[in-house]
Amino acid sequence: MRTVVSLTLAACTAVLLISPTPAQTAAPPTASPAQPSAGGTPDAIPFDIPYGQSIGLDLAKQVTAAAEAEAKKRNWKMNISVVDTNGELVQFERMEGAQIASGSISVGKARTAARFRRESRAFYNAYETGHGYVATLDPTLVASPGGFPLVQGGKLIGAVGCSGGTGDQDAATCKVGAEVVK
């Protein structure tokens, strides 16, 4: 037994003497961490659309009707939402046969466009290019095409959101609705 312990101890000692110690290993040169591109510093704040008086029900119905007409023309089944400047629902329509899950998505797209004063596609594009920080901005943010701000007289009055098709189908439908407001 004593021989086994002595041989094991000798083997461990040999391994320790042969293997390099951390003090003997040269540390690799530390490179300064690369700074991610912030896209430059613009002179003006992007998407700085001033807020106006929130959209009323009559105009919201016109926006919804235009979006619905476009969807019908293309045989797309959509959920269409119009929100005020705070992102609160003013008008909602689910077309016959539209995907039920897309109802809340259309509201989320409209809310995102209103609260951030830009198309919801901007956040989709940020995710697609590897900018995961978008997920930290707002837990209700919907980063998918199909949410458009409604700007009248240079002021934000609300937003429209569409969902039920692909992102591009949703955006095409909503764009027609947004064009009602100018």
- Give the CATH number of the domain where residue 110 resides: 3.30.450.150
| pLDDT confidence of residue 182 | 83
pTM: 0.76
Alpha-carbon distance of 157 to 138, in angstroms, equals: 21
Q: What's the angle, vertex CA 152, arms to CA 151 and CA 158, rounded to 5?
A: 50
C-alpha R_g of the chain = 28
Q: Is residue 67 part of a domain?
A: yes
Q: Which residue has the higher pLDDT, 130 or 44?
A: 130
| Candidate ranges 45-59, 60-74, 126-140; pick with highest mean pLDDT | 60-74
Q: Is residue 27 part of a domain?
A: no
Q: What is the pLDDT of residues 103-118, one digit of tens each?
A: 999 999 999 999 999 9
| pLDDT confidence of residue 132 | 86
Alpha-carbon distance of 137 to 125, in angstroms, equals: 15
Alpha-carbon distance of 129 to 136, in angstroms, equals: 16
Q: Is residue 22 part of a domain?
A: no
Domain range enclosing 150? 59-178
